[in-house]
């Protein structure tokens, strides 16, 4: 793709491109009752410095706190790159998750995602990730780490990935979910159509399906030269706002349903690995959290700590 150039160091908010120029990256932002946090998210996306065009698609799931009004303001202020998708009725409550609703709108060669209460902290995130994936066609995605932040946006100095999980992953490891819960907001992946299975609609943590399905097209690169993003522990977060015991139960249910998916499609070896190696860790964590005796033998989490030596 031959694109006109923009002055070096120009952030997205100040870039201009010819009409109907296809974006290189589509940034998909899902938001619900995030008005108190969304400016941090959008301002840091628009602060990205790139030498290519980027589109920003913001989906609001019928918020009740004025989030939609804020999304409209940004779309009106930055019409060249910000597109608003505003629901009049909440879709999640009807069993329709936001990400699959807006993925078909992405026109970019690559896709990045971010939730409306989180924000990026490296202005060169997209540029670094695009440059790397273009130079390495054998990989389907790249990712980096995240710091937990409180509702006010202050860092808690706690990283999402344990040190052993800050590494590259083979396609096989992605397929078998032997990766350390990389966050969607840290990833950039190739814009490949994904056929989401029916189990996706049932799992509490649907994000696990994306790397698993993308694995058909390559592995994942961990990039430690990108400043970790801010993963906010806000009272409106669908994950961090829940008690730890509920998070454990949701993780166990996610693994159980993904195992059911692999059983249904006949990948019995992968299902066996999930059921006997990964799932017991989450079940045990939940049982410990609620004060019940261990009913399942604890298994070491070597599926995260040990790189795949078979691929």
201-208 long-range contacts (CB < 8 A, ≥24 apart) are 201/95, 201/96, 201/97, 202/257, 203/253, 203/254, 203/257, 203/258, 204/250, 204/251, 204/253, 204/254, 205/239, 205/250, 205/251, 205/254, 206/97, 206/99, 207/99, 207/183, 208/177, 208/254, 208/258
- What share of the chain in percent tops pLDDT 70? 88
Residue 73 and residue 117 in one domain: yes
Query: Among residues 220, 232, 237, which one has the least CA distance to residue 160?
Result: 232
Residue 59 and residue 189 in one domain: yes
The whole-number pLDDT of residue 240 equals: 67
Domain of 287, in residue numbers = 244-305
* pTM of the complete model: 0.88
Residue 156 and residue 279 in one domain: no
Question: E-assigned strands of the chain?
Answer: 25-31, 54-60, 82-86, 110-115, 139-143, 146-149, 155-159, 188-190, 219-222, 229-232
Give the mean pLDDT per block of 10 residues along the chain (311 residues): 78 94 97 96 98 98 98 98 98 92 97 97 98 98 95 86 94 88 95 92 86 95 97 76 77 88 94 84 68 49 46 42
The partner residues of 83 in beta bridges, in order of sequence, read 57
Other C-beta atoms lying within 10 Å of the C-beta of residue 218: 20
The whole-number pLDDT of residue 40 equals: 97
Residue 173 and residue 296 in one domain: no
Instruction: Give the residue from 200, 232, 264 where a domain finishes.
Output: 232
Cβ neighbours for 193, distance < 8 A, ≥ 6 positions apart = none
Q: What is the per-residue pLDDT across 199-256, written as a single tens digit (0 to 9) for each?
A: 998 888 888 889 999 999 999 999 999 999 999 987 776 666 677 778 788 888 888 8
d(CA 299, CA 277): 6
Residue 133 and residue 276 in one domain: no
d(CA 279, CA 275): 5
Domain annotation covers residue 47: yes
Task: Give the chain's end-to-end CA distance (angstroms, integer).
Answer: 34
3-state DSSP helix/strand/coil % of the chain, to nearest 5: 40, 15, 45
| Residue 175: C-alpha distances to residues 168, 213, 250, 269 (Å) | 14, 7, 20, 11
Residue 225 and residue 252 in one domain: no
Helix boundaries (H) for the chain: 35-46, 67-77, 98-102, 125-135, 171-175, 209-214, 244-264, 268-273, 279-289, 302-305
Q: Which tokens sit at 23?
A: 């974006």
Tell the residue number behind the tokens 């009106």, with chain if given.
76
Residue 217 and residue 263 in one domain: no
Indicate the number of domains in the chain.
2
Residue 99 and residue 122 in one domain: yes
- Domain containing residue 85: CATH number: 3.90.550.10
Q: Which tokens sit at 144?
A: 């980096």
The whole-number pLDDT of residue 289 equals: 64
Domain annotation covers residue 5: no
Cβ neighbours for 61, distance < 8 A, ≥ 6 positions apart = 30, 31, 32, 87, 90, 91, 92, 98
Sheet of 229-232: strand order equals 155-159, 146-149, 229-232
């Amino acid at each position: 793709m031959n694109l006109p150039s923009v002055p070096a160091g120009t952030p997205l908010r100040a870039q201009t491109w010819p009409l109907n120029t296809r974006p290189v990256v589509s940034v998909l932002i899902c938001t619900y009752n995030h008005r108190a946090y969304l400016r941090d998210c959008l301002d840091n996306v628009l602060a990205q410095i790139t030498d290519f065009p980027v589109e920003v698609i913001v989906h609001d799931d019928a918020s009740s706190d004025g989030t939609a009004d804020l999304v409209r303001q940004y779309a009106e202020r930055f019409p060249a790159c910000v597109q608003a998708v505003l629901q009049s009725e909440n879709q999640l409550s009807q069993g329709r998750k936001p990400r699959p609703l807006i993925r078909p709108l992405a026109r970019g060669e690559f896709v990045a995602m971010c939730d409306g209460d989180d924000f990026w902290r490296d202005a060169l995130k997209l540029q670094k990730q695009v440059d790397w994936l273009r130079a390495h066609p054998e990989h389907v995605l790249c990712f980096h780490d995240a710091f937990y932040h409180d509702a006010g946006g202050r860092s808690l100095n706690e990283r999402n990935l344990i040190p052993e999980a800050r590494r590259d992953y083979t396609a096989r490891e992605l397929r078998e979910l032997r990766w350390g819960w990389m966050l969607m907001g840290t990833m950039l992946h190739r814009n490949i159509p994904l056929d989401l299975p029916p189990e996706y609609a049932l799992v509490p943590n649907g994000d696990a399906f994306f790397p698993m399905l993308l694995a058909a097209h390559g592995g994942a690169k961990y990039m430690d030269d990108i400043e970790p993003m801010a993963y906010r522990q806000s009272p409106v977060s669908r994950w961090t706002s829940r008690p730890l015991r509920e998070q454990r139960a949701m993780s166990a249910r996610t693994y159980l349903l993904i195992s059911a998916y692999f059983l249904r499609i006949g990948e019995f070896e992968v299902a066996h690995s999930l059921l006997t190696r990964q799932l017991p860790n989450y079940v045990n964590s939940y049982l410990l959290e609620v004060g019940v005796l261990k009913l399942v033998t604890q298994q070491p989490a070597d599926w995260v700590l040990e790189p795949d030596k078979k691929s």
